[in-house]
Amino acid sequence: MKKNISIITLLLLQFFCISNLYGQNDNFFKVFCFPSDKIPQIDGDISDWDIVPEKYLITIDSMTEDEGNYMNPDKSTLDIEVKVGWSKETNRLYFLYKAYDNYWSFSRDDLMVDIFEVVVDGDRSGGPFIDKFYPFNDINKKEAWELFHGRQAQNYHIYTPPKNGDWCMYWGPQQWIKEEPF
In total, the chain counts a number of residues equal to 182
pTM score > 0.75 for this model?
A: no
Instruction: Give, for all 182 residues of the chain, the pLDDT tens digit.
Output: 444 343 343 333 333 333 344 445 566 788 999 999 999 998 889 999 999 999 999 999 887 776 677 778 888 888 999 999 999 999 888 999 998 888 877 777 777 777 888 877 766 666 666 666 667 678 787 777 777 666 667 777 888 877 777 788 776 667 777 776 65
User: Rounded to an integer, what distance in angstroms lies between the CA atom of residue 18 and that of residue 8?
Assistant: 15
> What SS3 state is found at 58?
strand
Enumerate the domain spans of the chain.
Answer: 27-103, 104-182
- Contact status, residue 160 vs residue 114, Cβ threshold 8 Å: yes
Residue 121 phi/psi, 5-degree rounding, is -105, 85
